Amino acid sequence: MLIVMDKTASEAEIAAVVAKIEALGYTAQTIPGGERMAIGILRNPGPVDPALFIDLPGVIEAIPVSRSYKLVSREMKRENSIIVLPQGVKIGGGHFVVMAGPCAVESELQAFTIARAVKAAGAQVFRGGAFKPRTSPYSYQGLEEEGLKILARVRDEIGLPVITEAIDHYSLDLVEQYADIIQIGARNMQNFSLLRRAGQARKPVLLKRGMSATLDEFFMAAEYILAEGNTQVILCERGIRGIGAHARNTLDLAAIPYVKKESHLPIIADPSHAAGRRLLVPPLARGAVAVGADGLIIEVHHDPTHALSDGPQSLYPEQFAALMRDIQTLRPGQWL
Amino acid sequence: MLIVMDKTASEAEIAAVVAKIEALGYTAQTIPGGERMAIGILRNPGPVDPALFIDLPGVIEAIPVSRSYKLVSREMKRENSIIVLPQGVKIGGGHFVVMAGPCAVESELQAFTIARAVKAAGAQVFRGGAFKPRTSPYSYQGLEEEGLKILARVRDEIGLPVITEAIDHYSLDLVEQYADIIQIGARNMQNFSLLRRAGQARKPVLLKRGMSATLDEFFMAAEYILAEGNTQVILCERGIRGIGAHARNTLDLAAIPYVKKESHLPIIADPSHAAGRRLLVPPLARGAVAVGADGLIIEVHHDPTHALSDGPQSLYPEQFAALMRDIQTLRPGQWL
Amino acid sequence: MLIVMDKTASEAEIAAVVAKIEALGYTAQTIPGGERMAIGILRNPGPVDPALFIDLPGVIEAIPVSRSYKLVSREMKRENSIIVLPQGVKIGGGHFVVMAGPCAVESELQAFTIARAVKAAGAQVFRGGAFKPRTSPYSYQGLEEEGLKILARVRDEIGLPVITEAIDHYSLDLVEQYADIIQIGARNMQNFSLLRRAGQARKPVLLKRGMSATLDEFFMAAEYILAEGNTQVILCERGIRGIGAHARNTLDLAAIPYVKKESHLPIIADPSHAAGRRLLVPPLARGAVAVGADGLIIEVHHDPTHALSDGPQSLYPEQFAALMRDIQTLRPGQWL
Amino acid sequence: MLIVMDKTASEAEIAAVVAKIEALGYTAQTIPGGERMAIGILRNPGPVDPALFIDLPGVIEAIPVSRSYKLVSREMKRENSIIVLPQGVKIGGGHFVVMAGPCAVESELQAFTIARAVKAAGAQVFRGGAFKPRTSPYSYQGLEEEGLKILARVRDEIGLPVITEAIDHYSLDLVEQYADIIQIGARNMQNFSLLRRAGQARKPVLLKRGMSATLDEFFMAAEYILAEGNTQVILCERGIRGIGAHARNTLDLAAIPYVKKESHLPIIADPSHAAGRRLLVPPLARGAVAVGADGLIIEVHHDPTHALSDGPQSLYPEQFAALMRDIQTLRPGQWL
């Protein structure tokens, strides 16, 4: 923490800041500048809240210096983390992954139809929701455990590891049993109770960035999972609140190289939820590959007109296959 | 839903849109305009997803017409809902309420000290967190059930009803037993599983607006609670992501008259979390009264320097008392 | 500027940062902390761009310390600036002003009708656009110099000083001749060429905050005007891009007490443009008074259905009169 | 425009809406739905402001239907516009362009050094500012006409067409004489007076999207230029206000395929200003190519430490050359 004083701050005001720092048990170091005094806080075991100082007389700014996150940071672990799934699929460190499937598992026939199509096109993980977080209580809410059983059969018969979302402790207990990756959705990125529970799971966790989360907040959410002992975390950029209505959200592709610089965890992109409409999914998917994402998670449906959720942003299987071919030309996994 | 066609849309493209509407089981009505055709969707039982149509050939826009929310709407219930608490405190319909207390309950002594001060200044409800949702896993997380017991003693001995936050099913079970109002925080506004559980509670629920939620999403979150049978919902505006760093969030005071027009539910404001610093709390509190809020929830601490959380935005008791006097001059509850 | 090093930064990396600081002609001071090194930059005559350092090896953050603005700052001038208009109207330092009138001057009859009404209700300044910045080239663009002449006649016959917008050098030359306050609109807040020209004018300038401007950027825009020698600047908060569609923009009322803390310049609020609809204008106007604004600028039209621009957000004269009565109960100018 | 009525709207309220539509000279058509009445507005020559209706009794929503932009729309012109520069450089319709050079022209030596480097790496247009819009009045403001003369010499001797920014009428007069493309910056996107002047120029115009502009507003700004007769407009996405501080702005890559669907004008991306730091420029540049941009504009400096502006986001010539090689693998111009 650095406390910046007003040019006209009195010696008494400076002394009061120093006294407060020392009252908190830290060490204060005054740093005289050209025009004004600054005061550094040393020997603080963790971050200090700037708001403790900003309204003191003579203070014009209080600037945090330390990072709040530890375990997710490259300062803690230099080399890229690589998540290894059943069937040998690897994610991160140059291993590029595509997860694809419907928004929601609707039936065994639907799931198998789509799973076969996405596998044929080259997807390595099958996605499908069994517990759906929906804006409206009147919307389709998912098949719940029956959906998880269908996912398990897809994995066993088709040979794709499966990812599905948990929305509370109850569903996480079930998802942990059936799935290969536990997804935590954007709306739950700061559901800290759920994050802790995911941290106790023995399966990898895909954590989506919240719609208005800073990357620091995103890292801190992941930190909750790692702090409970689960280091198998995959981050996912899925779009933030933007300006205008041309897309549902704004896919923040700058987040990807930034996360890769700051953290050892892999990060993938979800162009489907960011776009909200089919037209924009393939270009955003290509863009994510080209900025260096470690993978993609994409919604695909063989009959999106009748999909029970998110049909409009789901690719047709042939569009997905074309996208997979396009992606190959973009050197996925090579952009570090 | 209204589907707007390109000026140059062919008859075949128009027919395809009509056919899709009818395939979904609805009725299509073409509406020829000056320059272009529009197609209305009728007899849809609920909202139709615009994305079903926007990428069809010849379509340039698909515009939702229906409201998604029902139970929270003034279309459903014209008169203002009034929430009645133990000790006779009323909220809404001209009854203005001030809830005040520390961010977190830290000890019996702390809670009683602050409760006595805020009661003396005129607060009608005591607030204090026992389960704290914190951005960092390393921050203070609250006294949990011990905190709830302290809150219950405050109510019994000092005579103020109490409000405290629930962050998951486990804590909601406990909060429901001990508190008079169950608070759902901004980060859990779309934790739908928790909203359903709150809807099954027999206590009033204070629901905070999420940091990047539209008012439609806010209403739909409240709809989850009402749809489970709990109609005692108080809404709370607490600030959205803004621009710049002068305040932590931007208190969206226009939301208050808009909510009062659209919904029968009471809405209060939380200037403390929006401001993030003491300096801005009194002016924002006064502003909220003047736009017509049904109440305020304000953080107060007798020793904010040593508060375990949110000290910097907590008012000193004497500042709170001064604010309460100021508020009286602003005709609280009279601005409909 | 404070440069924060990675915990694992090598001595060579630290030395390289120091060398770069010295190459720029400044002084470097190393500040060893608990876990990591920080390096302060001293004797820099003005702000240093953090981006000069953030991508150097071993650097994790570069934090600006100085304020960029000087003349607008309370560090430069402690007492409130008070702007004095012809007819003795004062703005700032406890002098509360209401400016009211139509969005655009449409005719002499229209202007006089509205001016008489707003004067009768207590407005002290008449507003009306002669040069209109419109999103569409096909929208009404204003009466230009003819409108300015009408404004001048309003002032002479009715006795209200007038404010009107300049949108380029040409119109500013004219506005400076005819009006009492020169308005610079939100879309021109960073039209630096126009700001310089306004700084050379001998009339007060009302500067509106840009729709996505931080307060630092807002201060810097005002600094352009003061740096040219015109110290008669009135700031105006008029809403930033928000979330959802309930209002056109989000009036950022926290900006008002923050500006008053940081700057000696008066700041007023424009609830009409923020709201975009009549319903929200009176509550936002009251809110602005209660947070401590030095005044309001409000659109009023006697026949808004036929207004050539902004009719829907214009108050009827009787609504404006009611609002003026309400405002009196809110102690305008007393909230410092 | 579609007016949606409350479920409980009375016949008199519906009749009042119809009467208002007819009073405006348009035709009203009632559209009875399942639960509520809607009223369409027909025969309106241009867009109708929704705010004219939203606050009438019984109205719950007023929904615009028409597009406001005409000349920029694909409805007006189906085929892609291709801009042809001197030396035969083409932009749009599959012709991919890279514009590169320093933020500001600082000297003849600097300009020629960088121009030779970017030409050798494959850039087809040289960029360099002579008139600089700077947030602070105390920052470097450019060489003005002397800078334009240097640019002209670069073109004549090195053979690259040049692009440079105009910030007002005065500088546009000069830029039009010396440069091959006139740039209008993000802060001037709604400087309508300048847009009109650019529309009268006989040179192509590069128009940057404002930092908080919707795409509709961006199209309308371009419409100003086309409406004056200049159809040679290149759009440029350069980032919007985002969340957090990892990048200066959020490059909205979804805008690119959307613009290409809606408009015939070419659109390029500016990763340098979006990123604000060198580290993020190459990944964002690659991302823009992969989503289908028609080109890039990139800042390059041979000695960014001593650059007078924007040094930190400028690539070194060898980084730029590497990026140009990377781009070739991404099939620029092929992603429609």
Q: Quote ipTM for the complex.
A: 0.90
CB B34 to CB D40 under 8 A? no
- Averaged pLDDT of chain D: 92
pLDDT at A298: 98
State the Cα–Cα distance between residues D293 and C152, nearest whole angstrom.
Answer: 51
Q: What are phi and psi of C182, to 5 degrees?
A: -95, 125
Q: What are phi and psi of C52, to 5 degrees?
A: -65, -20
pLDDT at D29: 80
Across the B:C interface, residue pairs with CB atoms under 8 Å apart total 121
DSSP codes of every residue in A144-193: THHHHHHHHHHHHHH---EEEE--SHHHHHHHHHH-SEEEE-GGGTT-HH
Mapping DSSP onto H, E and C, the string for chain B reads CEEEECCCCCHHHHHHHHHHHHHCCCEEEEEECCCCEEEEEECCCCCCCCHHHHCCCCEEEEECCCCCCCCCECCCCCCCCCEECHHHCEEECCECEEEEECCECCCHHHHHHHHHHHHHHCCCEEECECCCCCCCCCCCCCCCHHHHHHHHHHHHHHCCCEEEECCCHHHHHHHHHHCCEEEECHHHCCCHHHHHHHHCCCCCEEEECCCCCCHHHHHHHHHHHHHCCCCCEEEEECCECCCCCCCCCECCCCHHHHHHHHECCCEEECHHHHHCCHHHHHHHHHHHHHHCCCEEEEEECCCHHHCCCCHHHCECHHHHHHHHHHHHCCCCCCCC
pLDDT at D105: 97
CB B291 to CB C286 under 8 A? yes
Contact indicator for D140, D308 with CB cutoff of 8 Å: yes
Tokens found for residue A57 = 């007389």
Q: Which helix (H) or strand (E) holds A236?
A: strand A233-237
3 state SS of A285: helix
Strand partners, B297: B99
Segment C113-125 mean pLDDT: 98
CATH fold of C83-329, please?
TIM Barrel (3.20.20)
Binned at pLDDT 50, 70 and 90, residue D49 comes out as: confident
Segment D155-176 mean pLDDT: 97
CB D191 to CB C187 under 8 A? yes
Which of C39, C41, C67, C264 is the best substitution to test chain A (most A C-beta atoms within 10 A)?
Answer: C67
Quick one: what percent of chain A has pLDDT higher than 70? 96
**Which chains pack against A, by 3+ Cβ pairs within 8 A?**
B, C, D
Nearest CA among A204, A171, A214, A205 for reference residue A86: A204
Contact indicator for A111, A105 with CB cutoff of 8 Å: yes
C242-274: per-residue pLDDT in tens?
898 899 999 999 999 999 999 999 999 999 999
CB B63 to CB D60 under 8 A? no
Cβ of residue D29 closer than 8 Å to a chain B Cβ: yes
Nearest CA among D81, D46, D64, D91 for reference residue D263: D81
What is the distance in angstroms between the CA of the first residue and the CA of the last residue of chain C?
32
Judging by beta carbons within 10 Å of its beta carbon (0-12, 13-18, 19+), is residue A25 exposed, middle or buried? Answer: exposed
More confident residue, A255 or B333: A255
State the Cα–Cα distance between residues C239 and C218, nearest whole angstrom.
Answer: 13
Strand partners, C83: C91
B264: pLDDT strictly greater than 90: yes
A66: pLDDT strictly greater than 70: no
Question: Which residues does D270 contact at the CB level (< 8 Å), separation at least 6?
Answer: D208, D236, D237, D238, D239, D296, D297, D298
More confident residue, D50 or D318: D318
B232: left (phi over 0), alpha (psi -120 to 50) or beta: beta
Cβ of residue C212 closer than 8 Å to a chain B Cβ: yes
CB D31 to CB B33 under 8 A? no
Quick one: what percent of chain C has pLDDT higher than 70? 97
Its CATH architecture, for the domain C2-63, is: 2-Layer Sandwich (3.30)
Q: Which helix (H) or strand (E) holds D126?
A: strand D125-127
Which amino acid does the sequence have at C316? Y
pLDDT at A36: 76
pLDDT at C47: 67
pLDDT at C45: 66
Cβ of residue B333 closer than 8 Å to a chain A Cβ: no
Binned at pLDDT 50, 70 and 90, residue D55 comes out as: confident
State the Cα–Cα distance between residues C32 and A329, nearest whole angstrom.
Answer: 48
Q: Boundaries of CATH 3.20.20.70 in chain A?
A: 83-328
Length of chain D equals 336
Cβ of residue B10 closer than 8 Å to a chain D Cβ: no
Cβ of residue D15 closer than 8 Å to a chain B Cβ: no
Residue A100 DSSP symbol? E
- Averaged pLDDT of chain B: 92
C305: pLDDT strictly greater than 80: no
State the Cα–Cα distance between residues B198 and D209, nearest whole angstrom.
Answer: 44
For A83-328, CATH gives 3.20.20.70
Nearest CA among B175, B219, B289 for reference residue B75: B219
State the Cα–Cα distance between residues D208 and D193, nearest whole angstrom.
Answer: 16
**Which chains pack against B, by 3+ Cβ pairs within 8 A?**
A, C, D
Segment A231-249 mean pLDDT: 95
Quick one: what percent of chain D has pLDDT higher than 70? 96
A140-192: per-residue pLDDT in tens?
889 999 999 999 999 999 999 999 999 999 999 999 999 999 999 999 999 99
More confident residue, D40 or D80: D80
C2-38: per-residue pLDDT in tens?
788 888 889 899 999 999 888 888 888 887 766 778 8
CB B284 to CB C251 under 8 A? no
**Which chains pack against C, by 3+ Cβ pairs within 8 A?**
A, B, D
Length of chain A equals 336
Residues from chain D that touch A209, judged by Cβ atoms under 8 A, are none
Cβ of residue B43 closer than 8 Å to a chain C Cβ: no
Cβ of residue C135 closer than 8 Å to a chain A Cβ: no
Q: Which of B32, B63, B241 sits opposite D243 (nearest CB)?
A: B241
pLDDT at C3: 86
CB B286 to CB C286 under 8 A? no
State the Cα–Cα distance between residues D298 and D275, nearest whole angstrom.
Answer: 11
DSSP codes of every residue in D280-313: GHHHHHHHHHHHT-SEEEEEB-S-GGG-SS-GGG
Tokens found for residue D38 = 């809607």
Residue A207 DSSP symbol? E
Question: Which residues does A11 contact at the CB level (< 8 Å), separation at least 6?
Answer: none
pLDDT at B6: 84
Q: What are phi and psi of D237, to 5 degrees?
A: -85, 125
Which amino acid does the sequence have at B237? E
pLDDT at B23: 85
A122: pLDDT strictly greater than 80: yes
Binned at pLDDT 50, 70 and 90, residue A30 comes out as: confident
D181: pLDDT strictly greater than 80: yes
Question: For the stretch D168-190, what's the b/e string if a residue is b when 16 or more beta carbons lie within 10 angstroms of its beta carbon?
Answer: bbebbebbbebbbbbbbbbbbbb
State the Cα–Cα distance between residues C34 and C39, nearest whole angstrom.
Answer: 14
Q: Boundaries of CATH 3.30.70.1140 in chain B?
A: 2-63
Contact indicator for A135, B220 with CB cutoff of 8 Å: yes
Across the B:D interface, residue pairs with CB atoms under 8 Å apart total 58
Segment A8-25 mean pLDDT: 88
pLDDT at D270: 98
State the Cα–Cα distance between residues A61 and C79, nearest whole angstrom.
Answer: 21
For chain D, positions 213-252, list CB contacts with chain C under 8 A. Answer: 217, 220, 223-224, 227, 240-241
Q: Smallest CA–CA separation between C69 and chain B, in Å?
A: 15
Binned at pLDDT 50, 70 and 90, residue B47 comes out as: low
Beta strands A59-63 and B2-5: pairing type?
Answer: unpaired
Which of D68, D132, D171, D193 is the best substitution to test chain C (most C C-beta atoms within 10 A)?
Answer: D193
Tokens found for residue A291 = 């900025």
D247: pLDDT strictly greater than 80: yes
Cβ of residue D327 closer than 8 Å to a chain A Cβ: no
Contact indicator for A223, A70 with CB cutoff of 8 Å: yes
Residues from chain D that touch A212, judged by Cβ atoms under 8 A, are 243
Question: For the stretch B222-234, what's the b/e string if a residue is b when 16 or more beta carbons lie within 10 angstroms of its beta carbon?
Answer: bbbbbbbebbbbb
Tokens found for residue C326 = 């309400």
- Averaged pLDDT of chain A: 92
For chain A, positions 84-123, list CB contacts with chain B under 8 A. Answer: none
State the Cα–Cα distance between residues D317 and D102, nearest whole angstrom.
Answer: 10
Q: Smallest CA–CA separation between D272 and chain A, in Å?
A: 12
Give the residue from chain B lying closest to D241, CA to CA. B243
pLDDT at A95: 97
Beta strands in chain C (DSSP E): 2-5, 27-32, 37-42, 59-63, 83-84, 90-91, 97-101, 125-127, 162-165, 181-184, 205-208, 233-237, 267-269, 295-299
Question: Which residues does A19 contact at the CB level (< 8 Å), separation at least 6?
Answer: none
State the Cα–Cα distance between residues A191 and A201, nearest whole angstrom.
Answer: 16
State the Cα–Cα distance between residues C50 and D312, nearest whole angstrom.
Answer: 8
Give the residue from chain A lying closest to C242, CA to CA. A243
Cβ of residue C52 closer than 8 Å to a chain D Cβ: yes
Which amino acid does the sequence have at C248? R
Q: Boundaries of CATH 3.20.20.70 in chain C?
A: 83-329
Q: What is the dihedral of CA C199, C200, C203, C209, to 10 degrees?
A: -20
Segment C121-144 mean pLDDT: 93
State the Cα–Cα distance between residues D40 and D52, nearest whole angstrom.
Answer: 14
Binned at pLDDT 50, 70 and 90, residue C39 comes out as: confident
Binned at pLDDT 50, 70 and 90, residue D47 comes out as: low
3 state SS of C152: helix
Residues from chain D that touch B42, judged by Cβ atoms under 8 A, are 31-34
C176-233: per-residue pLDDT in tens?
999 999 999 999 999 999 999 999 999 999 999 999 999 999 999 999 999 999 999 9
pLDDT at D136: 86
Dmax over CA atoms of chain D, in Å, equals 77
Segment D235-252 mean pLDDT: 94
pLDDT at B118: 98
Cβ of residue A294 closer than 8 Å to a chain B Cβ: no
